[in-house]
């Protein structure tokens, strides 16, 4: 018990010395993000942008599917990495309105590695690959947009027709609300 108390006092002294000396303590999440950012791979269909070059904890991921139902689209995801990263997952929001079973109409993303399957060993590259896979292979088994998921499982032809309509910029009524989409085709 004495060791723990003395260790706590030592940590407090270090913090006080750092504050007095003007030394800035770097958050562990920022250190990990620096490593993750250095390892981001340029891949076909993926573009990562840092609007504020000084802030690597907030950035955009552009997914440009080269195959599947969402081919030729550009889907922008806003990523906010918490200070507690990698212990907590990044928060991801899709800024592009899309008719997709795993993305609701407000842009919330249902991706297992961003929720219950998150582990600190996962990286930003894991998140990027997960988002790319989601746009290539929608998953009706774990939906956020239940209407899209139900249509995908019960009337796949109707689902593909509605995705195509949305990709052409036509509006759709979803849950008694009309939504407009960006034209990609």
Assign residue 83 a region (left: φ > 0; alpha: ψ between -120 and 50; beta: otherwise).
alpha
Residue 94 annotated in active site: no
Going from N- to C-terminal start, the domains of the chain cover 27-179
Catalytic pick among 110, 111, 148, 163: 110
Question: pTM (2 decimals)?
Answer: 0.85
Taking a C-beta distance cutoff of 8 angstroms, is the pair 39, 125 a contact?
A: yes
Contact 149, 105 (CB under 8 A): no
Topology of domain 27-179, CATH: Ubiquitin Conjugating Enzyme (3.10.110)
pLDDT tens, per residue, the chain with 185 residues: 445 455 456 556 655 655 555 556 777 788 899 999 999 977 899 999 999 999 999 999 999 999 999 999 999 999 999 999 999 999 999 999 999 999 999 999 999 999 999 999 999 999 999 999 999 999 999 899 999 999 999 999 999 999 999 999 999 999 899 999 999 98
């Amino acid at each position: 018990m004495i060791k723990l108390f003395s260790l706590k006092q030592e940590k407090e002294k270090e913090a006080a010395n750092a504050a007095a000396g003007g030394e800035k303590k770097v958050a562990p999440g920022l250190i990990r993000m620096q490593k993750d950012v250095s390892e981001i791979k340029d891949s076909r269909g993926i573009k990562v942008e840092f609007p504020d070059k000084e802030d690597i904890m907030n950035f955009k991921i552009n997914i440009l599917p080269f195959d599947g139902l969402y081919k030729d689209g550009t889907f922008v995801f806003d990523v906010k990495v918490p200070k507690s990263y990698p212990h907590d997952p990044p928060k991801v929001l899709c800024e592009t309105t899309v008719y997709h079973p795993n993305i609701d109409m407000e842009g919330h993303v249902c991706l297992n590695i961003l929720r219950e399957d998150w582990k600190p060993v996962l990286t930003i590259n894991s998140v990027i690959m997960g988002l790319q896979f989601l746009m290539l292979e929608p998953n009706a088994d774990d939906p956020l947009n239940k209407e899209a998921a139900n249509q995908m499982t019960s009337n796949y032809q109707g689902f593909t027709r509605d995705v195509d309509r949305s990709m052409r910029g036509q509006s759709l009524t979803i849950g008694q609300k009309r939504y407009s989409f960006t034209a990609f085709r």
